[in-house]
Amino acid sequence: MMQLPIIRTQDLSKRYAMGDTVVHALREVSVEIQPGEMVAVMGPSGSGKSTFMNVVGCLDRPDAGHYQLAGETVESLSRDALAEIRNRRIGFVFQQFNLLPRTSALENVELPLLYTSLSKQQRIERARRRLDQVGLGDRLDHHPSQLSGGQQQRVAIARALVNDPVLILADEPTGALDTRTSLEVMALLQQLNRDGMTVVLVTHEHDIAAFASRIILFRDGRVISDTRNQAREASASLAQLAGEGGQAAAVAAAAADPEAGTDA
Q: Give the model confidence (pLDDT) of 15-47 as tens digits.
A: 998 888 888 999 999 999 999 999 999 999 889
pLDDT value of position 153:
94
Average pLDDT of the residues in 226-232? 96
Quote the distance between the C-alpha of residue 57 and its chain's center.
12
Q: Is the pLDDT of residue 133 over 50?
A: yes
Average pLDDT of the residues in 230-255? 75
DSSP-assigned letter for residue 232: P
Under a CB-based contact definition with an 8 Å cutoff, are residues 214 and 42 in contact? no
Q: Is the pLDDT of residue 90 over 90?
A: yes
- Of the chain, the percentage scoring pLDDT greater than 90 comes to 76
pLDDT value of position 108:
97
165: left (phi over 0), alpha (psi -120 to 50) or beta: beta
Q: How many domains does the chain have?
A: 1
- Of the chain, the percentage scoring pLDDT greater than 70 comes to 92
Average pLDDT of the residues in 126-139? 95
Quote the distance between the C-alpha of residue 264 and its chain's center.
55
pLDDT value of position 32:
97
19 found inside a domain: no
233 found inside a domain: yes
- Return all residues near 145 (Cβ < 8 A) that are at least 6 apart: 101
| Single pTM value for the model | 0.87
Average pLDDT of the residues in 61-89? 91
- Return all residues near 117 (Cβ < 8 A) that are at least 6 apart: none
Residue 253 pLDDT level (bands cut at 50, 70, 90): low
3 found inside a domain: no
- Return all residues near 125 (Cβ < 8 A) that are at least 6 apart: none
Q: Could you give the C-alpha distances from 260 to 245, 251, 252, 256, in angstroms and in order?
A: 19, 11, 12, 9
**Least-confidence region, from 83-92, 151-160, 207-216, 250-259:** 250-259
68 found inside a domain: no
Q: What is the CATH number of the domain that holds 243?
A: 3.40.50.300
17 found inside a domain: no
> In angstroms, rounded to a whole number, what is the distance separating the alpha carbons of residues 108 and 197?
21
Under a CB-based contact definition with an 8 Å cutoff, are residues 175 and 111 in contact? no
138 found inside a domain: yes
Which residue range(s) make up the domain with 103?
Answer: 37-58+79-253
20 found inside a domain: no
pLDDT value of position 47:
94
70 found inside a domain: no
